[in-house]
Amino acid sequence: MKRDSSSLLIGNKYFKSRLLVGTGKYENKSIMNECLIKSKCEVVTVAIRRIKSLNSSDKGLMESIDWQRLWMLPNTAGCTNSDEAIRIAKMGRELAKISGQEDNNFIKLEVIPDQRYLLPDPFGTLEAAEKLVKEGFVVLPYINADPLLAKRLEEVGCASVMPLGSAIGTAQGILNESNIRIIIENSKVPVIVDAGIGVPSDAAKAMEIGADAVLINSAIALAKDPKSMAEAMYQGVEAGHKAFLAGRLQKRVEANPSSPTVGISDSPFELKNNGK
């Protein structure tokens, strides 16, 4: 995939920001909205099962976000099998339409039966992805950093793949760098690193190795100062992407002097005389 574009293309929709942000775990909706602004994100994830009815007297998540400015990425968080994920995905598509995004068919696909380590089920994810693609969804599957699975999901029509950097909410950073590098190298769709990001340097690292975007929730929402962390994450993503495009200095075993080694005088007196 061409990764030098100024915009992020997912499906048939372009985004300027390469930072996607989650909407869970914030102390309140006011802080959440300030973080969304500080992060300069354009895409926000929404766990369908957390949404209260729009007819509820309680001001819910849906009503607190400006859907004219932000693109909704419904997700199937909490689903443990493919059938359940497909059902929730359809609810998410209807929710997006209710918000005014009539053409929004995006879904972040999560199938997670493991309640201890929250590792995604590769078989259930692939099964659900194939069916959702056929039903017109723009599918962004959350997966372990498995290059073969990533390629298979791309082949069945997924619009992106979302390998985890490390387990959800652990803030351990990029523990699967070698596999993520392989996924990036072989992918023709955007690679979005999701989960495990703890600090801006983690986000920068993901972008430096060629990821197209990162998705962050807990690291922002649970920071001591969420608003400052949201801004810092944006800066980390931007710096990492620019560094990737700039092309890093390659690592080497032996030292290489930064000063020139040709035409250097052996004598300070010669330098002085040449200066007359």
3-state SS track over the chain: CCCCCCCEEECCEEECCCEEEECCCCCCHHHHHHHHHHHCCCEEEEEHHHCCCCCCCCCCHHHHCCCCCCEEEEECCCCCCHHHHHHHHHHHHHHHHHCCCCCCCEEEECCCCCCCCCCCCHHHHHHHHHHHHHCCCEEEEEECCCHHHHHHHHHCCCCCEEECCCCCCCCCCCCCHHHHHHHHHHCCCCEEEECCCCCHHHHHHHHHCCCCEEEECHHHHCCCCHHHHHHHHHHHHHHHHHHHHHCCCCCCCCCCCCCCCCCCCCCHHHHHHHCC
CB contact at 8 A, 221 and 26: yes
Residue 238 lies in domain: 9-249
Residues 158-215 have pLDDT tens digits of 999 999 999 988 999 999 899 999 999 999 999 999 999 999 999 999 999 999 999 9
Flag whether 257 is in a domain.
no
What percentage of the chain has pLDDT greater than the value 70? 89
31 domain-assigned: yes
In a domain, 30, yes or no: yes
Mean predicted confidence (pLDDT) in 42-51: 89
Say if 3 falls within a structural domain. no
1: number of Cβ within 10 Å: 15
Mean predicted confidence (pLDDT) in 31-41: 96
Q: Is residue 254 part of a domain?
A: no
Choice among 69-73, 114-118, 227-231 with the minimum mean pLDDT: 114-118
Nearest by Cα to 119 from 153, 163, 86: 163
CATH number at residue 195: 3.20.20.70
Contacts made by residues 242-247, CB under 8 angstroms, sequence distance 24+: 243/204, 243/207, 243/208, 244/3, 244/207, 244/208, 244/209, 244/210, 245/3, 245/4
Number of domains comprising the chain: 1
Q: Which of the four pLDDT bands, split at 50, 70 and 90, describes residue 62?
A: confident
Q: Is residue 1 part of a domain?
A: no
- What pLDDT score was predicted for residue 53? 45
Question: Tell me, what's the pLDDT at 54?
Answer: 45
pLDDT digits 0-9 by tens, 71-114: 999 999 999 999 999 999 999 999 999 999 999 999 999 999 98
| pTM for this model (two decimals) | 0.89
**For position 58, what pLDDT does the model report?**
40
- pLDDT for 263 equals 63
Q: Is residue 4 part of a domain?
A: no
Catalytic machinery residues: 108
| Residue 199: per-residue pLDDT | 97
What average pLDDT does the chain have?
Answer: 90
Report if residue 136 sits inside a domain.
yes
Whether 57 has a pLDDT exceeding 60, the answer reads no
Q: What mean pLDDT is predicted for residues 213-232? A: 97
The confidence score (pLDDT) of residue 56 equals 45
pLDDT at residue 274 in the model: 58
pLDDT band at 6 (very low <50, low <70, confident <90, very high): confident
